[in-house]
Amino acid sequence: MANQVSNGSNHVSTKPPPEPSPLRKAKFFQANMRILVTGGAGFIGSHLVDKLMQNEKNEVIVVDNYFTGSKDNLKQWIGHPRFELIRHDVTEPLLVEVDQIYHLACPASPIFYKYNPVKTIKTNVIGTLNMLGLAKRVGARILLTSTSEVYGDPLVHPQTEDYWGNVNPIGVRSCYDEGKRVAETLMFDYHRQHGIEIRIARIFNTYGPRMNIDDGRVVSNFIAQAIRDEPLTVQLPGTQTRSFCYVSDMVDGLIRLMEGNNTGPINIGNPGEFTMTELAETVKEPDLGIFSTNLTDMKVVLQMINPNVKIITVDNTPDDPRQRKPNITKANELLGWEPKIKLRDGIPLMEEDFRKRLEIPRKK
């Protein structure tokens, strides 16, 4: 029977989905769902693996090249009969029989993705092509973790999924934001041309335990700096805004998207928005009382980490988006999803994880 295929606007064409391979058909006699997670040793990937492994019907295969990911993030699963870990770079083809592919592989911190921009764009373009080729061959459903960076320096605020973005095609961030835009294009081209079942999540800034301590992103930087008693580095101008989502909420959104019937793209993020100066000043001026609940929460928890920490301003890098806040109406209506974890609850979990790894216990 023909499968209905949407093209991202409202046009619907017909194209049969690829037949599952004989091996995969044979697997239907078993109850298990075999799931591939690319980038599964990374920050979000490893939390996703934890959640998928909780379901006893899932077998999980992780591939990672360990550029930013770490085996340590998966140590609780190594040796588990339903789990496999493969050192593999997605820019090389991969052949495994799976039912679903969560395609996360790509460095996500600006410091790391700008370190080797050619490799970053290869990961996004060739890596996504390889995973789509695999999805086509075995008839798997594939979810791409795209990014809020596809909106660039947005002129629409908050960002809705139908906004096409304002991206510099030749800037230092382009390897990542243009790379993810091409990855989205490839997803829809494979969907329209080959009937592949696709899902696209646009992830907004995410925080939580297992972020690389020197990852360079703002929440991990501020927490590590507060713990080490170093000044918080606010990058100029300081008026730029972001909205931060706790990793378990993110994982819940990704799984709902994979399991649901909508291709996306769908924004997944927390709409609580504040400026980077506000974020840092929460440590210094506890009683301003003028910010959002999220920010008040951040203030309370950063103060708990280090009430005496100093703030300095430092230069920014080019093309840093001036504002960012997701409109999550689609996620809410189509996936029944909204973020649940408040900064007040999420930051202490991250602090605990950072203190353990930095070996700096809380002062009594």
Output phi, psi for 347, to 5 deg.
-60, -40
Rule CB under 6 A: which residues touch ligand UGA? 108, 110, 147-149, 176, 203, 205-206, 216-218, 221, 233-235, 240, 242, 276, 316, 320
Shortest Å distance, C-beta 283 to ligand UGA: 13
Q: Are 191 and 142 in contact (CB under 8 A)?
A: no
Element (H, E) at 116: none
Burial (Cβ within 10 Å: 0-12, 13-18, ≥19) of residue 357: middle
Which is the catalytic residue, given 176, 190, 207, 246?
A: 176
Number of Cα atoms under 13 Å in the Cβ half of residue 255: 19
- Cα end-to-end span (Å), the chain: 67
Q: Which residues contact 163 (CB under 8 A, 6 or more apart)?
A: 151, 154, 156
According to DSSP, the residues that pair with 246 across neighbouring strands are 207
Choose between 5 and 298: whose C-beta lies nearer to ligand UGA.
298
Contact 44, 247 (CB under 8 A): yes
How far apart are CB 65 and ligand UGA at their closest, in Å?
A: 18
CB 227 within 8 A of CB 360: yes
> Where do the DSSP E strands lie in 1-110?
4-6, 12-14, 33-38, 58-64, 83-87, 100-103
Report the C-alpha gap between 101 and 129 in whole angstroms: 13
Choose between 135 and 203: whose C-beta lies nearer to ligand UGA. 203
Q: Is 176 a catalytic residue?
A: yes
Least Å from the CB of residue 126 to ligand UGA? 19
Write down the least CB distance from residue 316 to ligand UGA, Å: 5
Rounded (5°) CA angle 44-64-148: 40
Strands 206-207 and 273-275: unpaired
Strand bridging mode 273-275 / 245-246: unpaired
- Cβ of residue 270: shortest distance to ligand UGA, in angstroms? 11
Output the smallest distance, CB 236 to ligand UGA, in A. Answer: 8
**CB nearer to ligand UGA: pick between 234 and 255:** 234
Catalytic residues: 176
